[in-house]
């Protein structure tokens, strides 16, 4: 029999092109996390899970989980690990912490996601080439199939098959960047219009600069506890109710099942919905943080997470159904497009946002009205892996 697990709090660094080092970001997020949950100290942590994608190349450091423990004064006596699943590394760390507590192995865990991606100018070519490691470097990476061209192909195909428009893509970015304007931790804090997106620098048609997430430094942390322990600390936990993952094809773009759909997302979402008892996600979900690494991503995800029929994602955003007061408030923290995307930290930040939305602890201009049920979603690699987690305010 598994146990119920709750998120009891967390903390965040400012995201952006930071002067801070990888170690600085760890300490900044760690302090913010423990400050947010004063009844939990480093001495209470039994398990530590660190989401970080490529510290070996970005920070020239491996074996980072013990380093995080050392920097935060945590003596782990039960479980410690670093997770690497590209852009889903933070959610992977969160998932493993949840599973460890649910299985009764530990009662209290710290999850920390961190990435230092902006290097000194002389090292930036290495930082940029590092991103191609996420694809199959021998085949896709060396031939230029890194993220912008790949997602541009997804956009082109989706537009060809379903009539998705350039303006609908821009609506996603304008919405999310405008939310980020009211998020003190976001990399970009300026409201953006649809015309601003369309008129931004063209990168890989139809995608322009404002359709793309950025290279970002940042970290975020969460504390998870068993239900018994959580109730000793807070009466406002975010309870994890379901989780799903699916991987089809592997890394190579050649082997993906589609260039306009991600059935992996559908499988992962169905697993999470089934565990959480969600029958109609559009009616039952109130807030969602989904992986808008590029504007087209969010549109495809509306469809493949089961919110609308295939091809209707563009209309979903055009009709305002993903606005804060729409069917589901999507990416109220600003998403990856507005907040930035420090790879290993993104999934952790998404879960912290849902927790804060449940408590109403966000600025009114980006607050979802009275949310009870939330979802976080990450894709990773060339969208070959999808991870989904559901959370609720009122359960268990």
- The catalytic site residues sit at 87, 341
Consecutive H or E run containing 101: helix 89-102
In angstroms, rounded to a whole number, what is the distance separating the alpha carbons of residues 68 and 82? 10
Other C-beta atoms within 10 Å of 120: how many?
7
In angstroms, rounded to a whole number, what is the distance separating the alpha carbons of residues 4 and 338? 33
User: Strand 373-380 relative to strand 385-392: parallel, antiparallel, unpaired?
Assistant: antiparallel
CB proximity list for 200: less than 8 A, separation 6 or greater: 208, 209, 210, 211
The DSSP-derived string for 164-193 is --HHHHHHHHHHHHHHHTT-TT-S--S---
Strand partners, 113: 51, 220
User: Strand 218-226 relative to strand 108-115: parallel, antiparallel, unpaired?
Assistant: antiparallel
Closest alpha carbon to 47 in 10, 115, 101, 102? 101
Q: Are 12 and 35 in contact (CB under 8 A)?
A: no
Q: Are 30 and 259 in contact (CB under 8 A)?
A: no
DSSP 8-state secondary structure symbol assigned to residue 85: B
Longest dimension (CA), the chain: 56
User: Strand 373-380 relative to strand 329-330: parallel, antiparallel, unpaired?
Assistant: unpaired
């Amino acid at each position: 029999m598994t146990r119920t697990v709750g998120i009891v709090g967390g903390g965040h660094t400012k995201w952006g092109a930071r002067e801070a080092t990888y170690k600085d970001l760890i300490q900044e997020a760690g302090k913010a996390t423990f400050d947010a949950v004063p009844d939990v100290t480093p001495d209470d942590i039994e398990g530590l899970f660190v989401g970080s994608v490529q510290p070996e190349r970005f920070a020239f450091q491996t074996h980072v989980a013990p380093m995080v423990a050392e920097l935060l004064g945590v003596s782990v006596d039960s479980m410690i690990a670093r997770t690497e699943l590209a852009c889903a590394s933070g959610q992977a760390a969160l998932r493993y912490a949840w599973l460890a507590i649910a299985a009764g192995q530990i009662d209290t865990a710290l999850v920390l996601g961190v990435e230092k991606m902006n290097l000194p100018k002389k090292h930036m070519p290495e930082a940029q080439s590092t991103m191609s490691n996420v694809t199959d470097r021998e085949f896709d990476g060396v031939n230029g199939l890194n993220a912008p061209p790949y997602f541009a192909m997804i956009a082109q195909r989706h537009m060809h098959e379903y009539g998705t428009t350039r303006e609908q893509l821009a609506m996603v970015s304008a919405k999310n960047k405008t939310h980020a304007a009211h998020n003190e931790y976001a990399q970009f804090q300026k409201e953006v219009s649809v015309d601003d997106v369309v008129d931004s620098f063209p990168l890989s048609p139809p995608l322009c600069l404002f359709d793309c997430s950025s290279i970002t430094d940042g970290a975020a942390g969460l504390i998870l506890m068993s239900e018994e322990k959580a109730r000793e600390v807070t009466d406002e936990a975010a309870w994890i109710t379901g989780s799903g993952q699916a991987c089809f094809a592997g890394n190579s773009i050649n082997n993906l099942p589609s260039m306009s759909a991600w059935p992996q997302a559908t499988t992962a979402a169905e697993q999470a919905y089934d565990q959480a008892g969600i029958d109609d996600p559009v009616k039952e979900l109130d807030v969602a943080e989904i992986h808008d690494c590029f504007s087209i991503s969010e549109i495809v995800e509306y469809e493949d997470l089961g919110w609308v029929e295939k091809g209707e994602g563009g209309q979903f955003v055009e009709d305002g159904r993903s606005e804060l007061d729409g069917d589901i408030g999507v990416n109220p923290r600003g998403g990856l497009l507005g907040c930035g995307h420090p790879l290993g930290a993104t999934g952790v930040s998404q879960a912290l946002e849902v927790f804060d939305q449940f408590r109403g602890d966000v600025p009114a201009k980006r607050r979802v009205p009275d949310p009870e049920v939330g979802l976080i979603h990450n894709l990773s690699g060339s969208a070959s892996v999808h991870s989904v987690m559901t959370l609720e305010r009122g359960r268990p």
